[in-house]
Structure 1
Amino acid sequence: MKIRIAMAQMNATVGDYLINLEKIKKFIDEACNNKADIIIFPELALNGYPPEDLILKTQFLRDSLSGIEEVLKFSKSKDIIIILGAVDWDIESYNAAFIIYEGKLYGNYRKMFLPNYSVFDEKRYFTPGKIPTLIEINNIKLGITICEDIWVPNGPALSLAQHGANIILNLSSSPFYKERDKVRFEMLKTRASELSSWIVYCNIVGGQDELVFDGRSVVINPYGEIEMSAPHFEEGLYLVDIDPLEPTRANLREGKRKHYNTSIYYSDVNTVPIDKKISQKVPLPFIKKESTDTYTQIYLAIKVGITDYIKKNGFKSVVFGLSGGIDSSLVACIASDAIGSNNVLGLIMPSKFSSKESVEDALQLSKNLGIDYEIIPITNIYDCYMEDLKGSFKDLPFDKTEENIQARIRGNIVMAFSNKFGYLALACGNKSEAATGYATLYGDMAGGFSPIKDLYKTDLYKVAKKYNEIHGKEIITKSIFEKAPSAELRPNQKDQDTLPPYEILDEILFKYIDREMSYDELLNEGYDSELLQRIINMVNQNEYKRRQSAPGIKLTERSFGKDRRMPITNKYKPWI
């Protein structure tokens, strides 16, 4: 007889217990209506992930336990086992999975492996659990793990399998970045195969500050094959019928558990028996959502990140500078998809150095999207600055000072619209610019949110091309794609006057930042030493700018911020 498991791929909001509880109850009811035996929620679904220093507030912890009490009351008439991710608290706090059935708390499992790398700081907040936990229903054993626990080869999952768990549940809050799901799926397939166990992996979905979670919950059979997979970035309940004897057959035939590791990493396992009948049901077909391509995923990640940042922070509309370049064009397009074109305002702010073509491109894009726009020339404002500063500047030659004044005038105007009308100001800079400091502090960096700050320029073009493909028409026009990138802050300016070609620059930046390759290692790969020193100096010298930039969506392995914490005061030069 098969057991039916429901995975609640939930979009939780950090600290919003009322909304999160409402969603949890709705998912439980939907699972009951579909005759599910068990419903599994993501990691910290009740609290939202990551709650960060809210964990240090005792009221937040009390409210979490009150939320568990509410779920207990709600579950009294529900014939379904609930595995709910939430903070547990006594004199310490724990990242836990609560086991609930018919109004009774059967206990909880406390996460044993706490990640403390990349964007994760769980050792700052939680005490690790000490013992693996499984539940037993009608001789069916299901192990419980939380996120990082399943990534550890000789961790709790191994002991659970060796203690007879035919199904291993994993509550997860695993953030998205480029091609992350490939790494995640390969790990889960390996783990299922080596343990001869089903793995039911339930991941959270949605945006939370700099992070986006792609969902992509999945069920892997004991042979390491994907049986069911949920879509990217879509909240929903996904059901699967599992034959609990399939792992036994796989184990008898291949003996994987016996030969994978003869020692038991954790000799004790907490077994929670639950007296629940598994009824016969009309079988459900496996639903397998094929993985979308890399640049569609990035588009969806930015869209969800914008949507949730705006919605969860109480904004309705956005404003930004629309230059006619590829960066602001992509931001305009995805923001329009995220919150509706009627909630998007582009400010076209030409100066004496702006080309006629750029203004035309910005106008055409606005019309293609159906967004509101305003044309506010900045030449007169700029001339007033120059006249008033003429005496102080003492006829010194035109340089980046005058260039940055133009950018800061535009930043002021964007922020004026934000203040006057309550718009969220979006900054439109990319990762290549942020890395090298090719951006103006308090100018084009001004804003409350920076959607593409973790997208390299070369990838930005690919996402923009994919955007047109997804929509089946040329919204971002050919002229925007073909023009040479330029800030247009002086006559005939091109980005490559200051930066190396983006194809070379991004390749080096990726290896230096995302992969942490050293100067010597890059030199050994054949890059010119003068070019490397120039790029590395730009990266290191502009940490002070990045530290003051708006939050933006994590899209790569090593985003600026929590992922990469470098000192501002830093004189280290590896070539000296």
Structure 2
Amino acid sequence: MTTALTVCLAQLDFTVGAIHENTAKILATIRRHGNDNDIIVFPELAITGYPPEDLLLRDDLYAAVDNAVEQISAAASDAVVIVGHPQRVGEETFNSLSVLHRGECLQRYHKQRLPNYDTFDEQRYFIPGQQNAVFEWQGQRIGLLICEDLWHPLPLQRLLEDDIDWVLSINASPYQLDKHEQRLSVLQQRSSECGKPIVYLNNCGGQDELVFDGHSLVLASDGSVAAELPHCQTLCASIEINAASVQLVGEWPTAASTLSSQALVYQALVLAVRDYVQKNGFNGVVLGLSGGIDSALTLALAVDALGADKVRAVMMPFKYTSSMSLEDAEQQARQLAVDYQVVSIEPMFNAFMQQLQTLFGDAEVDTTEENLQSRCRGVLLMALSNKHRALVLTTGNKSEMAVGYATLYGDMCGGFAPLKDVPKLLVFELAKYRNSLSPCIPERVISRPPSAELAPDQVDEDSLPPYSDLDRILALYVEQDWSVTDIIAAGFNDQDVRRIVRLVDLNEYKRKQSAVGPKITTRNFGRDRRYPITSHYRYELQRQDA
């Protein structure tokens, strides 16, 4: 039997564009683990971070990447190093990996399948590779793949013609709900086709609206999970592998598959907040704490991501703010030990109304005055942000963003929206999950009817269907592209469906101006869903229905 190779899986967090910093991280990992391993593996495009987007159009990028590859190759004096990076060859650019050892590139592979759907846009930058790559080391033949290659049968089938012992795939696969189950299903399908062990190393970290959750996997030749790295945690771990067996080396953490779906989402959101704040150089965050469920969950995420000393919460009451909201906001802020202040917006609001009185004339009170309250709050938060270089976290959820229940330049003010892709019902589930870890969000915040408190006795369901219906209608229309007639036929109220769809379409202009937020559903408002602002498609549909 062939002697097993010891392989170190470096599930690490790489920053887009930080070529020097990323290279330093790779070199430090080589120094720490090179003596104890035969091979060290890093994720897809580790040198540039993923996705580098239009940085790939810059000619000066490739000189820096080539220099990084040379440094890594020179440092790989003991273990072989396998690392992902872009590769410019003449006028062509590839998504590549290099197998490096003692100053030489032993093997180079160009990704064959370039995803161009959902969040992916690789065909804008790369051309597909045409050749298989098999790396032979110490008697073992290792078939090399990159991410999307493994989601299609043909690249692996072609590798099998080269008599491989096992498969290694480096990846930058972003998180979404149930993504682990999807990956595992694909890997087990590939495993059944080839009957070989598969090593699947994934990137880990937040990058704007994407969250790379790690959760790397190693499958034995029979398709069983032989090793599983944590969800949303960076670490290096080693296996011993040959065609016949996979063994863990040293202590391994508890399998991430034991976590609930709420735990997985929560950890992904925490990672997204932490990386966005830290990678963009903010001193901390500030948010408006209203006493409602959305801001309560956002505050919990911020504290878990950054620590209480990096978080400031501001309650900004108006005459419609209930005593319950004031009490609950203070209770949570004190419990989490964050910097907490109460600043009334009434003087600001009254000053604005005095100046606007002659401009408004005899116009009746409407949502203008409600929006003005929100904009007063936005001004306060942005002033604190500028003064203290603290990022404003907006607190709106996906359900609100879908139907436009958010105020431009008001509660939409801010730089990052942790709940932007989290439907309202999931907000409640995540709040309950967080409280299961330790007391955090007052129970009354979770149990009482949601309200923006911009008018007397206001609750959300005065103007919206119950969230149990709203979230399902939105999922069908936004995420699955169902038609109005199909949604109605599924049992939803005709008027509710038509009104909700109209609101979704009308409010595209708001979403185009909204803060970036982490993707966790199958289709977010961002990279996944690129709808025109000016569009008469909805009018065409109405004519057809008529």
Q: How far apart in 1 are the matches of 2:286 and 2:62?
A: 37
The Cα shift of 1:524 comes to 2.3
Which residue of 2 is the match for residue 227 of structure 1?
226
Deviation track 1:110-162 (CA, whole Å, cap 9, x = no partner) reads 00100001111100011111111111124321000000000012x21111123
Q: TM-score, normalised to structure 2's length?
A: 0.96
Q: Is the 8 A contact 2:227 2:248 kept in 1?
A: no
Which residue of 1 is the match for residue 394 of structure 2?
427
Q: How far apart in 2 are the matches of 1:491 and 1:541?
A: 27
From 318, 324, 328, the equivalent of 1:361 is 328
Q: How far apart in 2 are the matches of 1:196 and 1:211?
A: 33
Q: Is the 8 A contact 2:509 2:533 kept in 1?
A: yes
Counterparts in 2 of 1:488-499, with a 5 A limit? 488-499=453-464
From 379, 396, 405, the equivalent of 2:372 is 405
Q: How far apart in 2 are the matches of 1:145 and 1:282?
A: 22
Query: Tell me, what secondary structure is at the counterpart of 2:514?
Result: coil
Q: How far apart in 2 are the matches of 1:245 and 1:456?
A: 45
Q: How far apart in 2 are the matches of 1:18 and 1:502?
A: 47
Q: Establish whether residue 461 from structure 1 lines up as the match of residue 460 from structure 2.
A: no
Which residue of 1 is the match for residue 151 of structure 2?
151
Structure 1 counterpart of 2:456, which letter? P
The Cα shift of 1:29 comes to 2.6
Q: TM-score, normalised to structure 1's length?
A: 0.91
Q: How far apart in 2 are the matches of 1:72 and 1:286?
A: 28
Q: How far apart in 1 are the matches of 2:248 and 2:199?
A: 21
From 305, 315, 324, the equivalent of 2:291 is 324
| Superposition RMSD in Å | 1.6
Deviation track 1:184-225 (CA, whole Å, cap 9, x = no partner) reads 111111111221111000000011111110001110011111
Q: How far apart in 1 are the matches of 2:107 and 2:414?
A: 46
Which residue of 2 is the match for residue 5 of structure 1?
7
Q: Establish whether residue 52 from structure 1 lines up as the match of residue 53 from structure 2.
A: yes
Structure 2 counterpart of 1:116, which letter? N
Which residue of 2 is the match for residue 289 of structure 1?
255
Q: How far apart in 2 are the matches of 1:224 and 1:564?
A: 35
Which residue of 1 is the match for residue 311 of structure 2?
344
Q: Establish whether residue 564 from structure 1 lines up as the match of residue 545 from structure 2.
A: no
Q: How far apart in 2 are the matches of 1:166 and 1:517?
A: 45
Q: Is the 8 A contact 1:519 1:575 kept in 2?
A: no
Deviation track 1:416-440 (CA, whole Å, cap 9, x = no partner) reads 1111111111111100000000000
Structure 2 counterpart of 1:541, which letter? L
Which residue of 2 is the match for residue 259 of structure 1?
none
Q: How far apart in 2 are the matches of 1:356 and 1:393?
A: 31
Q: Is the 8 A contact 2:238 2:249 kept in 1?
A: no
Q: Is the 8 A contact 2:240 2:248 kept in 1?
A: no
Q: Is the 8 A contact 2:215 2:256 kept in 1?
A: no
Counterparts in 2 of 1:79-118, with a 5 A limit? 79-90=78-89, 91-118=91-118
From 5, 18, 21, the equivalent of 1:19 is 21
Which residue of 2 is the match for residue 67 of structure 1?
68
Which residue of 1 is the match for residue 198 of structure 2?
199
Which residue of 1 is the match for residue 276 of structure 2?
309
Q: How far apart in 2 are the matches of 1:575 and 1:214?
A: 42
Q: How far apart in 1 are the matches of 2:488 and 2:462?
A: 24
Which residue of 1 is the match for residue 182 of structure 2?
183
From 24, 28, 31, the equivalent of 2:30 is 28
Which residue of 2 is the match for residue 507 of structure 1?
472
Query: Tell me, what secondary structure is at the counterpart of 2:375?
Result: helix
From 492, 497, 501, the equivalent of 1:532 is 497
Q: Is the 8 A contact 1:227 1:286 kept in 2?
A: no
Q: How far apart in 2 are the matches of 1:148 and 1:460?
A: 31
Q: Is the 8 A contact 2:74 2:103 kept in 1?
A: yes
The Cα shift of 1:245 comes to 3.7
Task: Name structure 1 gaps, 5 residues minimum.
Answer: 248-280
Which residue of 1 is the match for residue 354 of structure 2?
387
Q: How far apart in 2 are the matches of 1:172 and 1:236?
A: 15
Relative to structure 1, the CA distance from residue 288 to residue 402 in structure 2 (aligned partners, 3 Å threshold; closer, same or farther) is closer
The Cα shift of 1:107 comes to 3.2
Which residue of 2 is the match for residue 139 of structure 1?
139
The Cα shift of 1:284 comes to 5.5
Which residue of 2 is the match for residue 256 of structure 1?
none
The Cα shift of 1:23 comes to 1.3
Q: Is the 8 A contact 2:289 2:296 kept in 1?
A: yes
Which residue of 1 is the match for residue 171 of structure 2?
172
Query: Tell me, what secondary structure is at the counterpart of 1:395?
Result: coil
Deviation track 1:56-83 (CA, whole Å, cap 9, x = no partner) reads 01111211111001112212xx221211
Which residue of 2 is the match for residue 130 of structure 1?
130
Deviation track 1:332-361 (CA, whole Å, cap 9, x = no partner) reads 111011111011111110001111110111
Relative to structure 1, the CA distance from residue 72 to residue 243 in structure 2 (aligned partners, 3 Å threshold; closer, same or farther) is closer
Which residue of 2 is the match for residue 547 of structure 1?
512
Q: Is the 8 A contact 2:85 2:95 kept in 1?
A: yes
Q: Is the 8 A contact 1:228 1:287 kept in 2?
A: no
Task: Name structure 2 gaps, 5 residues minimum.
Answer: none
Structure 2 counterpart of 1:113, which letter? R
Structure 2 counterpart of 1:177, which letter? Q
Relative to structure 1, the CA distance from residue 225 to residue 290 in structure 2 (aligned partners, 3 Å threshold; closer, same or farther) is same
Deviation track 1:159-193 (CA, whole Å, cap 9, x = no partner) reads 11232112110000000111111111111111112
Aligned length: 537
Q: Is the 8 A contact 2:141 2:164 kept in 1?
A: yes
Q: Is the 8 A contact 1:176 1:214 kept in 2?
A: yes
Deviation track 1:550-569 (CA, whole Å, cap 9, x = no partner) reads 11111111011110000101
Query: Tell me, what secondary structure is at the counterpart of 2:450?
Result: coil
Q: Is the 8 A contact 2:175 2:211 kept in 1?
A: yes
After TM superposition, which residue ranges in structure 1, 4 or more long, deviate above 3 angstroms?
Answer: 281-288
Which residue of 2 is the match for residue 272 of structure 1?
none
